Each structure stands twice: as C-alpha cells, then as structure tokens.
C-alpha cells in the first residue's frame, strides 16, 4: 500500500495537562485546520480534560490556492475515482487517530469525531468503520458518502448528531435527512437538528447543541 500522508495541525490541550477525552476536528473543502480549532474554546467550557486537534488535509485545493486544502477533490473524476480518494483520505485519518489516541493513552471510547462539510463526510465514513467504537460523531453541514456501501462496510455504531443550515446553498439540508435515514436503517442512533436561516456554516446554537452531545457521549456531568 502507498505510504499514507502524515497529518498535523493546531491543537488545544486541557489546562490540567491530562486528557481524558479527545475530539478530532475535520475541516471542510478549501479550508485548513485553523478553520475549526477555534471551536475548542467554547467547547472546552463543557468538556474539561478534553484535548482538541484539527489536522490539516494533506492536499492543496485548486479552488482556494491561498492556503486552502482538501481531503479529496470534489470536482474531478467519476464516482469510482471519488470513492478511491475518500478511502485514501479515510485511511490517512484512521492512522492519525490511532497515533493521537496512543500518544495520550486513550481508547476509542474516549474519542469523538467532529466534522464540517467535507470533514463531516469523512467523520461518518471513518467513524463507523473503526475496529472499536468511538464515543460519537458530530457532523455539521455534510452528507453520507457511498451510502450503498454502508451496510457491508459498517463495523461499529457510534451515536451521531447531525446539524445543518436550512438555507445551505452548497449542500442541501435534504442531504442531512438522507444520511440520517441511511444510518438509522443500519442501526445507528442519529439525532438531527436543522438551523433556520443558516447557510453553509456553524452558528452559536449549533455549537451549544454539539457541546451538549459531546458532554453526553463522554458522560460529563455539569
């Protein structure tokens, strides 16, 4: 197998210096790790002793040449080529997860994946194919890739929360419902939240909903 790219990106460690949980944030198409690491600040108020890391995707994005990155190309190639790229990106992220968990002596039950847009696609793709079940998956403004492969590929069933803007012009909110339906048909528990007036982004209410979800799956009492 081709050597996988090495990932790195900004991270925020807990003030205590001891992480009991890990949230890996996967950014969207044309962005980079800095785009989501800012969520660590509001989320850490609800998630003490939690580390956050937001890796940079390994490939430059032609649509945003000024520091923009991509996990896979959304414009070129047929569906088979797209799936090949998604599987390569997923393998890269999967290995990165293993390294980051081992570094902190944590297990998958201490792991949450948080994605936005293309990052949500990969969070869902990776999360249900881990050999051990993560604590959960939180996805904003995304979709489920290769739904036809889910039934045969699914290994674990972590709880999922999907949040999507009702006015998203890039990825229709219908894609959230389609993802939820497919996941539920395969035994995955999914909560969905639509955000009125929101386009392709994350609003304050979405952050609060995400914080509540992460607190619940990590069994943090406030």
Averages of pLDDT over each 10 residues, the chain, 222 residues: 85 92 98 97 95 97 86 75 92 98 97 98 98 98 96 98 98 98 99 98 98 96 63
pLDDT number for residue 108: 98
CATH number, domain with residue 133: 3.40.50.1820
Distance CA 13, CA 30 (A): 26
Domain assignment present for 109: yes
Distance CA 145, CA 202 (A): 21
Domain assignment present for 4: no
Domain count for the chain: 1
Domain assignment present for 129: yes
Distance CA 30, CA 57 (A): 9
pLDDT number for residue 15: 81
Query: How many residues comprise the chain?
Result: 222
pLDDT number for residue 76: 59
pLDDT number for residue 87: 95
Domain assignment present for 6: no
Domain assignment present for 54: yes
Domain range for 15 = 11-217
pLDDT number for residue 77: 61
Q: Are 19 and 40 in contact (CB under 8 A)?
A: no
Domain assignment present for 5: no
Domain assignment present for 97: yes
Distance CA 160, CA 29 (A): 21
Domain assignment present for 162: yes
């Amino acid at each position: 197998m081709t050597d996988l790219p090495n990932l790195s990106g900004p991270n925020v460690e807990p003030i205590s210096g001891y992480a009991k949980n890990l949230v890996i944030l996967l950014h969207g198409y044309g962005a980079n790790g800095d785009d989501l690491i800012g969520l660590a600040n509001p989320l850490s108020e609800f998630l003490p002793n939690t580390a956050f890391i937001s890796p940079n995707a390994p490939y430059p994005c032609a649509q945003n040449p000024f520091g923009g990155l991509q996990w896979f190309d959304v414009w070129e190639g047929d569906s088979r080529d797209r799936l090949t790229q998604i599987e390569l990106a997923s393998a890269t992220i999967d290995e990165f997860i293993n390294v980051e968990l081992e570094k902190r002596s944590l297990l998958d039950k201490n792991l949450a994946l948080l994605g936005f847009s293309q990052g949500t696609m990969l969070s869902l793709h990776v999360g249900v194919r881990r050999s051990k079940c993560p604590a959960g998956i939180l996805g904003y403004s995304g979709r489920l890739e290769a739904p036809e492969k889910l039934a045969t590929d699914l290994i674990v069933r972590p709880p999922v929360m999907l949040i999507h803007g009702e006015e998203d012009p890039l990825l229709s909110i219908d894609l959230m419902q389609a993802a939820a339906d497919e996941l539920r048909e395969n035994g995955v528990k999914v909560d969905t939240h639509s955000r009125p007036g929101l386009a392709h982004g994350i609003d304050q209410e979405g952050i609060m909903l995400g914080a509540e979800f992460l607190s619940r799956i990590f069994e943090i009492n406030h």
